[in-house]
Amino acid sequence: MSDTPIEFPSLKPEPKPRLKPGPKPGSKRFNFQASPKLTQSQKEELVPKIAQLQAEGYTWKEVGEKLGYHPQRLRKLHLRYPDGQAAGVDEVGIKERSFARKLVKGADKRDAAQEIGKSTRWAIKTMESPNFKSYLFRLLQNAGLTEEFVLEEHKNQIKATRTIVATHKGDITDTMEVPDNAARMTAIRTAHELYGHIGGTAESAGAPSININLTVREKEQIEGLVGRPLNVNVIPVEAIEAPAEPVETVQPGP
């Protein structure tokens, strides 16, 4: 029998290869600054430069090398301020920005506030803040909901009509176009809410001024809704009064 000892394989795991350390600040491979948090003045200085370099066709890597920051960080900054302006936006908190994004997507203010754990009272108070109005107004513009677009749509709604149909034994005998008072009042109420909450300037954020023709009775009804006098032209003619309940079918008598 041999005296040579038997060697068993070691159960100890082999040590993992040690990774090489990354580039140190000041080396040729280190091209970006490592800043824990950008100040407001830094943002106001960087955002226009990022927008300009992007417009000139530079890649994010080239933009990062020119400005001395990581490309991903600059890209996030650009997505947050796509219009190239960062002044005053930091005064709007994270909750407010999330609330504004939900409003732009079409959520009701109560539902949007509830999703972020806030009350309806908080939503109403937030929407009255000048900084929030400015931020929401810019988001709407970036989404394509400019003042011109909104006004054009409301102009159509303010002139909305509906059709009353007369039938006899299942056959349509006559039709007549009448003003759709419900749709018109909804459009005016919506326009008042928009101008009262998202105006980009002090003038547009205040009381709205609507240049339309109304009868005296319609003007009084609208002023009762918005709670203040309206700057409108009153025409001395009687409006076609639609029935209180929508009438879709009129059966003629025998």
215 and 135 in one domain?
no
Q: Evaluate whether residue 191 is within a structural domain.
A: yes
Q: Evaluate whether residue 71 is within a structural domain.
A: yes
User: How far is residue 129's CA from residue 95's CA, in Å, rounded to a whole number?
Assistant: 14
For residue 78, the model assigns a pLDDT of 75
165 and 126 in one domain?
no
Domain boundary among 29, 60, 80: 80
Torsion of CA 107, 111, 114, 120, to 10 degrees: 110
157 and 103 in one domain?
no
User: How far is residue 144's CA from residue 99's CA, in Å, rounded to a whole number?
Assistant: 19
165 and 133 in one domain?
no
237 and 158 in one domain?
yes
Count of C-beta atoms within a 10 Å radius of residue 38: 18
Domain interval for residue 176: 151-250
Place of tokens 């754990």: 117
**Entry field: residues in the chain:** 254
111 and 67 in one domain?
no
For residue 18, the model assigns a pLDDT of 66
112 and 156 in one domain?
no
228 and 176 in one domain?
yes
231 and 155 in one domain?
yes
191 and 210 in one domain?
yes
Q: Evaluate whether residue 11 is within a structural domain.
A: no
For residue 209, the model assigns a pLDDT of 43
Q: Evaluate whether residue 14 is within a structural domain.
A: no
For residue 3, the model assigns a pLDDT of 67
Q: Evaluate whether residue 6 is within a structural domain.
A: no
Find, among 101, 83, 85, the residue nearest to 93 by Cα.
101
CB 160 within 8 A of CB 180: yes
Total domains present in the chain:
3
CB 242 within 8 A of CB 162: yes
222 and 157 in one domain?
yes
Q: What is the 3-state secondary structure (H, E, C) of 18-62?
A: CCCCCCCCCCCCCCCECCCCCCHHHHHHHHHHHHHHHHCCCCHHH
From first to last of its 254 residues, what are the pLDDT tens digits of the chain? 566 666 766 666 777 666 565 555 545 454 555 555 777 777 778 888 887 887 777 888 888 888 888 888 888 877 777 665 555 555 677 788 888 888 878 788 888 888 988 888 998 888 888 878 877 777 777 766 666 666 666 677 777 788 877 777 777 777 778 888 877 777 777 666 655 544 444 444 444 444 455 566 766 776 776 666 666 555 544 444 444 444 444 444 44
List Cα–Cα distances, 56 to 5, 53, 62, 63, 173, in angstroms: 75, 5, 11, 10, 65
171 and 220 in one domain?
yes
For residue 77, the model assigns a pLDDT of 79
